Structure 1
Amino acid sequence: MSADTNLDIAALDRAHALHPWTHFESFVRDGPLVIERGAGCSLWDSAGREYLDAVGGLWCTNIGLGRREMADAIAAQAEKLAFSNTFVDMTNGPAALLSAKLAELAPGDLNHVHFTTGGSTAIDSAYRMVAYYQRCAGRANKTHVIARDASYHGSTYATISIGKRAGDKVPEFAYASEGIHRVSAPDCYRAIGERSEAEFCDDLVAEFEAKIAEIGPEKVGGFFAEPIQASGGVVVPPEGYLRRMAEVCARHDILFIADEVVTGFGRLGHWFASWDEFGVQPDIICCAKGLSSGYQPIGALIFSDRIWDAMQGDRWYASGFTYAGHPVACAAALKNIEIIEREGLLDHAASVGAYFEERLTELEDLPLVGDIRGRKLMMCVENVADKATKALLDDALDVGKRISDAAEARGLMVRPMGHLNVMSPPLVITRAQVDFVAETLRASIVEVTDQLVRDGVKVG
């Protein structure tokens, strides 16, 4: 058995690996797709086939794959100091430097950083910090939190319980419910109905205020919100919604936690979307993914002076992770940020992202396409049976997967999520590559539409 033999890799994986979000029946039937290498926006599988990865790994390969200077920075740090814990009063150079850099990049008075191992653990830590801060501030009962429908905040026990995305809550697992509440998603495609966008926004804010009153404002400690709901279907909120929700939070001493695990580090052309895109000053920003562009596992929550000051005194902050502030991961994040700054990737993402929006919007003429939504390098195609009624195709048809399979056969990776196809390509994507994505996705949707019609499915 050789690790270099691709057939062996697939067989070993099939026999021994449990993948995140495994569908057992199809995995046993089809086995894994073995990815062997990557460069820029491209991936190559074990058979040598090339794909343009419009998924960006999982919203994360922002600077692109295969960068030698990233590998060199990781190797140099591993040789100098491969590990040192950051518990109690220990630190290391990369962790301290990255803390300072994140405080510099974050908006307002978000000057303090708690490192984690990824996005899920960042949100999990923020959930714990809500109750800790509120108790320190003399509001011991403010332990309840509010999130939104169609949200995804991670896969730890706490974070999967906070989120509410279709398909995430399976009957074989148990989930926490006490102290966790939700309000409607700001879905301007499906939930708005006959209302104007302004009326829809008014109703969402009123619903939030009513939910706080129902629970009791003395009990609500935090509100979790992705600036754009990513895995929930790339849900872009109506104008002014996030700012007004933050104002409600401020009136009731509720911490506004911005889940920027996806939107941070350039996806919308900014370091963070909360302030620059939506005019919101959060109390906490949670980040991961683009923080290291996937080169190392790392996450962080960046929090305000107000929270830091309230927590001071003769008490312990008894929460953290062995690999928090890992020197190699922090060195990778610092080099990643340096590359984004040096190469002007935020401006590039804003420019090519606008072109990406423009090219994908051209797909709206297809009978299967109900909605094209998103911003910059964070886009979604919603596929429907009827454009007028927005009725969906039968789940058993698995239209998103059919389209992604057709695209994959043409050398393009897009992410299927039920009736959706989601894209979040690296920030380094070029206009020519955007053209390839748009044209290949169009051909794939046309192919699947033709197949459905031949099978007797009514479309459009």
Structure 2
Amino acid sequence: MGVEPTTREIFDAYIDHSWRSNAKRQRDKGAEFIIGRREGPYMWDRDGEKRVIDCGNAGGVHSLGHRHPAVLSALRGALDGGSDTGLWAIPNYEYLKLQDLLAELAPSPRLNRSVVTLASTISVDLAVSFAFRVTNRRKILAFRHGYHGHTGFAGIVTGSFDEGILEHYNMPRHLSSFFEPYNDIEAVRAKLSDEVAAVILEPMDYENFAPGDADFLLSLQQACREVGALFVLDETRTGLGRTGQLWAAEHFPGLAPDMMITGKGLSGGLYPVSALMTTESIYDRCMNEHKYSYISSLGGNEISCIVAQAVLKESARSELHENVRSMSALLEAGFTDLCNKHSDLVVPGTAFGCIATIACKDPTMGPAFYRAVYDEGVLCHSISYTEPVVLKFFPSLIIDEGVVNEIVAATDRALTSLSR
């Protein structure tokens, strides 16, 4: 057998003949890391030289930590029990069980139907298709700096100048429009008309991770109802216990979207799966009035549905939600103390469950801050492209006080090194 390549050699190969921009982006950030062993909130590089706390989690894919025992057991049980991906044209019982569980755990009773897909991007794409059919309109309104995916209609409703790909792929621009800033209902109303089929957004500002205001989200829902547009809530990042409730929507009594998307963490980080949750009337109109309304060779397959059921059961546990709320309070307090200690460099950001930020006084400090924290053993989610420039932390939901203390101590060391 040949000698296994090193981390540096893998990065070099990516830059030479693979996804160059991805490898170069990480190298430029000073986070040249290839995952080797992984467990719970930790990852080790394949060279065995560095351990980091995963505070990126691929936006929530590993919300239950890497290789969660219950999810891993469900996957192994599915494989050992004789399951495979099945055949798309033949109903499978696990799909039905997952649909029923999603309906049982939905934040609103009206979300009692679902379509199971392989990725959130596909679920977004499907939500837009549903909105076009139900309203007979062909325009979607989205937050300018939101993120919903990179393919199909999901790419059309991701308007970020930095992360969006509308211009890059010369996508049709007449199908979407964008509002900004977040939490400004008048900015929405200025773009919302009887031409809009749906409004899609996350219950937080994707760029700076600031949570949505209750008044804003409820007013947006009402504004959609007034003009006959559907309201689509994307809980790809905020769902499955991330905010201290199973769904972020539960923090806003009265919020009842027409469609809701979950994914990323629904996979448990072990097998791809996502779901579009919607109402019975929308589901029947879109799925049951055409023989081939949505076909996917692998979407909703047996193994993915078994894994998703295990994730949902773990994510719905009240003990998990309590842990998220407790660790959020500890993390917020720790970061506040750091901001007081290093007041020349940073100020407090926001905390929304296991979603936390620290804001940079100097907007140019972001990349150096990210790298310094990585050097001290914490791999963060990202830095914001818009002001306020914040360093974004997205830790696993299973962290304990010891891990929180490690994160705070590493960030303290990073700020101390920057102050020098």
TM-score by length of structure 1 reads: 0.81
Determine whether 1:224 maps to 2:220: no
Partner in structure 2 of residue 411 of structure 1: 377
Over residues 135-172 of structure 1, what are the superposed CA-to-partner deviations in whole Å (9 max), with x where a residue is unaligned? xxxxx2x2211111211111114222212224124664
Determine whether 1:355 maps to 2:330: yes
Q: In 2, distance between residues paired with 1:67 and 1:305?
A: 33
Determine whether 1:400 maps to 2:366: yes
Partner in structure 2 of residue 137 of structure 1: none
Determine whether 1:173 maps to 2:153: no
1:243 to 218, 221, 237: 218
Q: More deviation in 364-373 or 263-272?
A: 364-373
Partner in structure 1 of residue 269 of structure 2: 294
Q: In 1, distance between residues paired with 2:212 and 2:318?
A: 30
Determine whether 1:158 maps to 2:138: no
Q: Please state how far the C-alpha of 1:91 moved relative to its aligned partner.
A: 2.1
Partner in structure 2 of residue 326 of structure 1: 301
Whether contact under 8 Å (1:286, 1:302) holds in the other structure is yes
Q: Please state how far the C-alpha of 1:10 moved relative to its aligned partner.
A: 5.4
Whether contact under 8 Å (2:52, 2:378) holds in the other structure is yes
Whether contact under 8 Å (1:186, 1:238) holds in the other structure is no
Partner in structure 2 of residue 65 of structure 1: 66
Whether contact under 8 Å (1:379, 1:422) holds in the other structure is yes
Q: Please state how far the C-alpha of 1:424 moved relative to its aligned partner.
A: 1.0
Q: Please state how far the C-alpha of 1:381 moved relative to its aligned partner.
A: 2.1
Q: Please state how far the C-alpha of 1:103 moved relative to its aligned partner.
A: 0.8
Q: In 1, distance between residues paired with 2:142 and 2:78?
A: 39
Over residues 255-282 of structure 1, what are the superposed CA-to-partner deviations in whole Å (9 max), with x where a residue is unaligned? 1100000011000011211133464111
Partner in structure 2 of residue 441 of structure 1: 411
In structure 2, the CA distance between the partners of 1:283 and 1:207, relative to structure 1 (3 Å rule), is same
In structure 2, give the amino acid aligned to 1:344. E
In structure 2, give the amino acid aligned to 1:163. T
Gaps of 5+ in 2: none
Q: Please state how far the C-alpha of 1:248 moved relative to its aligned partner.
A: 1.0
Q: In 1, distance between residues paired with 2:29 and 2:281?
A: 54
Q: Please state how far the C-alpha of 1:312 moved relative to its aligned partner.
A: 7.1
In structure 1, give the amino acid aligned to 2:188. F
Over residues 335-382 of structure 1, what are the superposed CA-to-partner deviations in whole Å (9 max), with x where a residue is unaligned? 222333457212211222222222223333322224411311011223
Partner in structure 2 of residue 22 of structure 1: 22
1:82 to 74, 81, 84: 84
In structure 2, the CA distance between the partners of 1:113 and 1:313, relative to structure 1 (3 Å rule), is closer
In structure 2, the CA distance between the partners of 1:357 and 1:3, relative to structure 1 (3 Å rule), is farther
Q: CA RMSD in A?
A: 2.7
Partner in structure 2 of residue 315 of structure 1: 290
Q: In 2, distance between residues paired with 1:123 and 1:2?
A: 43
Gaps of 5+ in 1: 135-139, 188-203, 386-391, 394-398, 451-460
Q: In 2, distance between residues paired with 1:313 and 1:428?
A: 40
Structure exhibiting the larger radius of gyration computed from Cα positions: 1
Q: In 1, distance between residues paired with 2:304 and 2:288?
A: 30
Q: More deviation in 122-131 or 315-324?
A: 315-324
Whether contact under 8 Å (2:156, 2:175) holds in the other structure is no
In structure 2, the CA distance between the partners of 1:30 and 1:357, relative to structure 1 (3 Å rule), is closer
Determine whether 1:94 maps to 2:115: no
Over residues 97-135 of structure 1, what are the superposed CA-to-partner deviations in whole Å (9 max), with x where a residue is unaligned? 11111111112211111111111111111111101222x
2:142 to 136, 147, 152: 147
